[in-house]
Each structure stands twice: as structure tokens, then as C-alpha cells.
Amino acid sequence: MARLRCKDIMASVCAVLLATVILPVRCAKASAVVIELGGGFGEFSVANRGEAISLNSAVAVQQLVNGEWVHVPVTNLYLREACRAVRPPRCRELGPDEEIKAVRWTGNFCSSQCPGPCRLDGSAPLGTYQFAVTSCDGKETFVSPEFRKNN
């Protein structure tokens, strides 16, 4: 009886192995979010070349300091195409082959895209920067090519 069970188990294992070899394997399509820079300072767009993904609407700015990317405390920078009185939702769905041409970064810490009430504001220092956008689940981060702030 033990011999019969062993044969049954071996047959099941062989069937599973054979099925994985013969049947085509479907892999999940990887996210292909790209942050592209525009022609002028602070201009950027976010394009999705893969399957739909939910992105955090807030865009982070990072500066290259001593060879390392450091978070810059820029606020009010979002994946939005126009300035509106309403703050964008926390997450933004980006469908396949969809692109967002965001309002450009002004180079400021608080009034970074659109005019707004900022008690303390100023210009970020000169240097090398990049934009970063994360997926809403926090599992993926996408960064732009680096760019220079010269004034």
C-alpha cells in the first residue's frame, strides 16, 4: 500500500513538472513608467509604456550631493496638467500608453508648480536634480534623468 501511494505521488509530481515544461508560462508584464524631461527648466512628463499602474500624485525632488541623491523638501509638486484650486488625489491611475505632461517645477520649495499661499518659500540651490515618482503601493520608484538648476 505504501508502494502504491509513493507511485501516485511520483506520478503527480511528474505530471506537474511536465505541465510546467509543456504549457507556456505567462509572466506579468513589468511596469514601464518613464519620466522624461522637457526642453525648459523644470518641465517633465510621465509616460506609461506598460500595464496600468497607480502612481502617487506627489512628485519628489532629489539633489545630487557628494555623489548621493538626497531628498529636497519641495512641497506642492504633483502629477497635474493644470493648476487648480483643488489638491490632486493621493494616487493617480496611469493607463497603458498614457502620458501626463505635468505643470513644470518652478525651482522653488513651496510654490513649486502653481501660485499658492506659502509662508516660507525660496529657491532651491543650484545643482543637479532628478524627479522621483513612486507607485501608490510603494513598491516601485521611477526617476527622471538628471538635470541642472543653474539660476
Q: Return the HEC string of the chain.
A: CHHHHHHHHHHHHHHHHHHHHHCCCCCCCCCCEEEEECCCCCCEEEEECCCCEEEECECEEEEEECCEEEEECCCCCECCCCCCCCCCCCEEEECCCCEEECCCCCCECCCCCCCCCCCCCCECCCEEEEEEEEECCCCCEEECCCEEECC
Residue 119 lies in a domain: yes
Q: Give the pLDDT confidence score for residue 46 in this predicted structure.
A: 98
Q: Is residue 22 part of a domain?
A: no
**100 domain-assigned:** yes
**What total number of domains does the chain contain?**
1
Domain that holds residue 134: 28-149
For residue 20, is pLDDT > 50?
no
pLDDT at 52: 96
Instruction: Provide mean pLDDT across the span 83-99.
Output: 93
Q: CATH number of the domain that 80 lies in?
A: 2.60.40
Q: Could you tell me the pLDDT band of residue 8, with boundaries at 50, 70 and 90?
A: low
Query: What average pLDDT does range 29-52 have in this prediction?
Result: 91
Report the distance separating Cα 45 and Cα 30, nearest Å.
20
Question: How many residues make up the chain in this entry?
Answer: 151
Who has greater pLDDT, 29 or 76?
A: 76
**Mean pLDDT, residues 142-150 taken together:** 97
pLDDT of residue 87: 87
| Residue 108 grid coordinates | 522653488
Percent of the chain with pLDDT over 90: 70
**Has residue 23 been placed in a domain?**
no
Residue 80 placed within a domain: yes
The closest of 86, 82, 75, 81 to 100, measured between CA atoms, is: 81
Is 94 contained in some domain?
yes
pLDDT tens sequence across 109-123: 999 999 887 887 899
Q: Which pLDDT score, from 0 to 100, does residue 6 have?
A: 46
Sort 16 into a burial class: Cβ within 10 Å, 0-12 / 13-18 / 19+: exposed
Do the domain assignments include residue 16? Answer: no
Is residue 9, in this structure, part of any structural domain at all? no
Average pLDDT over residues 9-24: 39
